[in-house]
Amino acid sequence: MVTVNNSDYYNNIPAGRDLNKLPNNSSAGTTVGYQYDGLTEEDRFVQKVLREHYDKMYKENMSHSDPMAYVISKYCDVTSPNFCSYMTEDQRSIAYRTEKRMLQSGGKPVGGFARYDYALRNYKDVYTGGSRSVGYVRNTDREKQYARSVVNQQISNLLSKNGISISKQADLVFSIDPYTYQLTVSGNADRDTLSQIETLLNEGDNAKNIWTHAWICMHDADNEIVNSQANMKKANQYSLWHEVYETTGYDARNATYRNGTFIAEDGTDLLALFKEKAKNGAGYELYSNRWLEYAKNGWKKENDLVLKIGFDSSGLYDIGQEKGYGAAQNMWMKGVSQSMFEARV
């Protein structure tokens, strides 16, 4: 049996750590944002075990003539001699998703934290059994709810400080661009009020931090997207743009596909530059293949991951998902004391 610390980590929220700090990389002028927790000692142990396990599985899968077919036979085909009947359905599901993603990314490491993963069965201090209903997850519903109250209070403080009041009838929508993180405000307030709110929320990294919070709240306990605004195609296009921009400094949307590569407006071969500057070969393969896939019909603006989140007198509320974290949306969260999450910032 392996002994690890911090097993009661999340039961200590909010007393366990300072939850009101802005994200570490926030720029000057930022007043809105939530610092999600870093890795605990237990997180690092689980991540290490799972990474070693799935690295081994990746090598084994690649030894077969059709790796993806082999993965499917292990976790999806009950008639196959390879079928992992000793796993629960939840365990086969997470193993299938993880191994499939590694095949698609060329073996890129996957940082999992699911405590019901079969690979953890010999580590009783961290293993929670075969059901995801009792599994450990990062960014839990409790933490998302607390984060929402923090961000709500920060926005309220910012508006109050600048003499802006929100009526009980107000119903606004914040729309945030996924590349520039520029936020626009629409709704039933007067034009001057909308403009003032827009200006304040575009200061520093306020809008970026609201986008990040909204994005995290759009995922369930298994990190699957549960919001109609988003899907994996949009998520892949978002990550592609940022990877290319951070690696090369060029906007992928402005590149022209020509003779098997992408040419920037100044004539630079972006695929060659991206390969030269990519941090690792697996990352280059993943994003260059994704880029070439999108090149077939040009950059699809409709797949841009623009996120919308509502705002009224009670604070932010989620748009496009059944289970939200707004004040009038969170009754599904059984056993969570609302008073515990009334942030003071």
The string of pLDDT tens digits covering residues 162-187 is 999 999 999 999 999 999 999 999 99
Of all residues in the chain, the percent with pLDDT exceeding 70 is 84
Name the residue among 171, 192, 203, 229 with its Cα closest to residue 33. Answer: 203
Which of 31-45, 142-156, 282-296, 303-317 ranks highest by mean pLDDT? 303-317
According to DSSP, the β-strands at 256-258 and 315-318 are unpaired
Amino acid at the residue 292: L
DSSP 217: T
DSSP 331: G
Which residues contact residue 45 at a Cβ distance below 8 angstroms, ignoring those fewer than 6 apart? 2, 4, 123, 126
Choose between 343 and 265: higher pLDDT.
265
For the sheet with 307-312, list strands across it: 183-187, 171-176, 307-312, 315-318
What was the pLDDT predicted at 8?
A: 36
* Whether the Cβ atoms of residue 304 and residue 179 lie closer than 8 Å to each other: yes
Q: How far, CA to CA in Å, does 264 sit from each of 123, 283, 327?
A: 51, 21, 46
Q: pLDDT digit string (tens) for 218-275?
A: 988 667 899 999 998 899 899 899 989 999 999 999 998 888 889 999 999 999 999 8
Q: Which tokens go with 161?
A: 């400080």
Q: Which tokens go with 126?
A: 């961290």
Three-class SS state of 58: helix
Confidence of residue 106 (pLDDT cuts 50, 70, 90): confident
Other CB atoms within a 10 A radius of the CB of residue 130 amount to 19
Whether the pLDDT of residue 323 is over 80: the answer is yes
pTM above 0.85, yes or no: no
Three-class SS state of 269: strand
